[in-house]
Amino acid sequence: MKKTSTRLADGRELIYYDTRDDTVRDAVDRRPLDRTVTTSEVRRDPLLGDAVAIASHRQGRTYHPPAGECPLCPSQGDRLSEIPDSSYDVAVFENRFPSLAGDSGRCEVVCFTSDHDASFADLTPEQAGLVLEAWTDRTAELSHLPSVEQVFCFENRGAEIGVTLGHPHGQIYAYPFTTPRTALMLRSLAAHKEATGGENLFDAVLAKELAGERVVLETEHWVAFVPYSAHWPYEVHLYPRRRVPDLLALDEEARTEFPQVYLELLRRFDRIFGEDEPATPYISAWHQAPFGTLEEFDGVVREDFALHLELFTIRRTSGKLKFLAGSESGMNVFINDVPPETAAQRLREVASS
């Protein structure tokens, strides 16, 4: 992998990740852009104890542009985009309309391929491996920023999810705090460790799933399963067999095997509802241990956390979506219409030949 860092016309950072070491990236951003001005602010909810990012400048972000005006495609002639070069393998840049900025963290866009009409599932194993390297490198770099406590790599796919740009891409949020969902995991981890005299909760969950009926696929270094208490109609958790706290700690064997495993999962998701159904909308989310102090979680250290990816869709059946209505949105109590065992069986049935 070759990494090339440069700057866009308004001062934002752009990083190219290339498979070839002899690739030259010297294209200049020719757009007449003013410096980016953001109003991002993180506010604490005194009752719930969680955080809300207030980012009014995002109201003006690019919204469903025609394919010929996509800002994530490479620049061609006089059609200038966020990527000054005429082609790229993987490109990462600071979001022009970030939810988090400055002392409130940082947001980046990850372009998986220059092919506007592709999806992650269309990538080759080599391309998917390069994306994994980009995720890992950005996690390392962002973890060193003084304002950053947790790094979150994710992909939103599909208009049903709320995606406003059709180009295959994901995002990275670098939070200045430990996110509420991760804090819940850490509290459960601490309570289980104390109650069992030191047993790791993630290890216990993985062992139980391996012995059960919800495993979707397993390889030498990875296990994918539908969790016992899945919140979403079709939800898969992907764990490396060897527990590590973050992407940086994955060994070479797991890195090498990841592209084949992940691409197979994504392709199965696209086959869940049949060949005639539109591409399955999904969210794919990496969960990594925070880089900040864990003092509030008694007895827990970073190495207790288990890196894993959670992949889920809001489509519950053909032509129908799962909406977060009263119970989910008002009380955070999910109601799942698809039994996890049924979802796992379906995901095994649609395995590629």
Active site residues: 169
Distance, CA of 333 to chain centre? 23
Contacts 24+ apart (CB under 8 A), 225-232: 225/344, 226/340, 226/341, 226/343, 226/344, 226/347, 227/340, 228/340, 229/340, 230/312, 230/336, 230/338, 230/340, 230/343, 231/312, 231/334, 231/336, 232/312, 232/313, 232/314, 232/322, 232/334, 232/336
Going from the C-alpha of 146 to that of each of 73, 105, 108, 136, 249, the distances in angstroms are 32, 9, 17, 18, 21
Structure tokens at 246: 């973050």
What is the C-alpha end-to-end distance of the chain, expressed in Å? 31
